[in-house]
Structure 1
Amino acid sequence: MGDGWRDTRQRPLINFLVYCPKGVTFIKSVDASDIYTNAENLCNLFAEIVELIGPANVIHLVTDNAPNYKASGRLLVERYPTLHWSPCAAHCINLILEDIGKLPDVEELANRASRVTIFAYNHKWSLNYLRKRVGWREIIRPGETRFATTFIALQSLYQRRDDLQAMVIDQDFKQFLKTQKGKTVKQVVLDEFFWNSCLIIVRMMAPIIRLLRVCDADEKPSLAYVYEGMYRAKLGIKKLCKNKKELYKPYTTLISGRWDRMLRHDLHAAAYYLNPAFMYEQDTFSTKSEVMRGMLNVIDKQNVSGSTKTKMVGQLNYYRERELGFSGSMALMCSKTTRPGN
């Protein structure tokens, strides 16, 4: 993984890390000031890292999604045909959340929620009232750069609905009804349509935010969960919208646009296929042809003989049908609990 960032002097640095089933290992940090704008030079830098680790040991390179990194990734794959490249999944998911947050209905919902939160924290009486409520927990406020926090903040506000409604019908709240802000806050807090909309959008975004947390975590490689996360997110949105195309289409179009244009890769489909926790969930496992096609394309890229590739394809049948070693009681028991790669 090539993790690009800038230090306090605004120098473009790249941290190189290796992800494997045993954990994460830091390799080196490089000042890329003189090369980061040139795809060929970046490719040469990535090639140095590949040679350091060993081409046979490198399966997948993950970098930023900037045009120079995308171009260097394509050049690197041409140089090492068995290697796969893709942009950072967490970055792509954040962009999906940003896109959805800009939908007019979602943006208006977030703005109304923000007015309530700002009012509650900007007035001494309201803040004291809420903090005296049994079981009160602070409302999470949206961050400026982490787009998931918009939806986490909506969830946080929804969970405090009863406290906020009790506040605006309290006799002492009448002092704020002399102002437009106070009237607006009461109207929002007592609006059931507002709360229902919050609940729906929170439920829609929950699978995407869960996937973002998996991709952002350092404890385990996330590759085996990306395809399933995106697939399940779209299915969940359609279900919440009762399969009414006019309702779910604005959301699924944005998700598919980023997924298809930026992130989707044969390796994601293959990792999904090879994750037994998903493969053996027959009711929910994707039957799309792209899954098997991605798996076969990954096998085809392997630097092995044709007969070995044929054998690998044959073993996929044993795996899919739970035959031979895949049918044992231990294999069946561990298929749900053991991480892929272990």
Structure 2
Amino acid sequence: MPGFNKLRTTLLKNEKAHIDMLLESTKSTWNEKGVTICSDGWSDPQRRPLINFIAISGKKPMFLKADNCEGEVKTKEYIAEKLRAVIEEVGRQNVVQIITDNAANCKGAGLLVQAEYSNIFWTPCVVHTLNLALKNICDPKVPKNEEDEYIWHHLEFIHTIKTEAQMIKNFIMNHGMRLSMFNEFSRIKLLAIAETRFASVVCMLQRFVEVKRALQSMVISDKWESYREDAQVATLVRDKLLSEVW
């Protein structure tokens, strides 16, 4: 068994050299096919703010590094400086694109870098763009002006269905007896909504479609009929699941 000093010096150095050798085949394609630098904010288990950088090319994505931004204000200038450092590390001649989310500071940083490097373009993250679009669809604003009124008129039904589905899901999953009843009728679990990912609303509703018959079988079962706790809400859930809308 190697000692502590050997682990943190010789063996660590050898392992780094081994990993660098394995990554060389990926790096060798960068000059030919170009590289996209993807950057995103994250938090580690200690809740420290990080900025991750990944290089994506025609072969394989490669994690580059995660910078600790604790105590820093993530202005567009600060993020742009981090992006420049990564671009120079990868090789400015190899980078053709940087991708960030659509936050104002990230967009500003991307445009600063794009203005500085003639061969590099900034592209907003498609996933984040779709997430923002789904936010407008799944959680439209209560109308305050004519434009909001138009959007609300066309999308209110989605908001209503989402709210009702979440109520039904919570009613079933937040109580052991009701969850046990549901598990008797379905092997597939219900899904929760992630607070900041509105695409999860679509996933949750899709799961409701998949377990629709199981839910309906549950609410017309003798066990559900004999259930007395929260009887008023249980009746509401049954009526919703058996209605033509559902």
TM over 0.5: yes
Number of paired residues?
Answer: 193
Alignment partner, residue 77 of structure 2? 40
Instruction: Give 5+ residue unaligned stretches, structure 1.
Output: 196-342
CA 1:11 to 1:164, structure 2 compared with 1: closer, same or farther past 3 Å?
Answer: closer
Alignment partner, residue 68 of structure 2? 31
CA 1:74 to 1:181, structure 2 compared with 1: closer, same or farther past 3 Å?
Answer: same
Q: What is the percent sequence identity of the aligned residues?
A: 30
Contact kept, 8 Å, 1:94 with 1:148, in 2: the verdict is yes
SS in 2 for 1:115: helix
Instruction: Give 5+ residue unaligned stretches, structure 2.
Output: 1-37, 141-155
Higher RCO (C-alpha under 8 Å, 6+ residues apart):
1
Alignment partner, residue 315 of structure 1? none
Over residues 137-161 of structure 1, what are the superposed CA-to-partner deviations in whole Å (9 max), with x where a residue is unaligned? 2222223233222221111122222
Quick one: distance in 2 between partners of 1:78 and 1:142? 39
CA 1:159 to 1:26, structure 2 compared with 1: closer, same or farther past 3 Å?
Answer: closer
Kindly indicate which of the two structures has a greater share of residues assigned to helix.
Answer: 1
Alignment partner, residue 28 of structure 2? none
Alignment partner, residue 189 of structure 2? 138
Kindly indicate which of the two structures has a greater share of residues assigned to strand.
Answer: 2
Report the Cα offset of residue 80 of structure 1.
0.7
CA 1:186 to 1:88, structure 2 compared with 1: closer, same or farther past 3 Å?
Answer: same
Contact kept, 8 Å, 1:70 with 1:87, in 2: the verdict is yes
SS in 1 for 2:239: helix
Quick one: distance in 2 between partners of 1:71 and 1:86? 11
Quick one: distance in 2 between partners of 1:128 and 1:50? 54
CA 1:109 to 1:57, structure 2 compared with 1: closer, same or farther past 3 Å?
Answer: same
Report the Cα offset of residue 48 of structure 1.
2.4
Alignment partner, residue 166 of structure 1? 217
Over residues 150-188 of structure 1, what are the superposed CA-to-partner deviations in whole Å (9 max), with x where a residue is unaligned? 221111122222222222222343334783202201110
CA 1:30 to 1:166, structure 2 compared with 1: closer, same or farther past 3 Å?
Answer: closer
Q: Aligned to 1:64, which of 95, 101, 110?
A: 101
1:111 aligns with 2:171: no
Contact kept, 8 Å, 1:6 with 1:13, in 2: the verdict is yes
Contact kept, 8 Å, 1:126 with 1:167, in 2: the verdict is no
Q: Tell me how large the CA RMSD over aligned residues is.
A: 2.5
Alignment partner, residue 151 of structure 1? 202
Greater Rg over alpha carbons, structure: 2
Quick one: distance in 2 between partners of 1:23 and 1:106? 39
Give TM-score, length-normalised by structure 1: 0.50
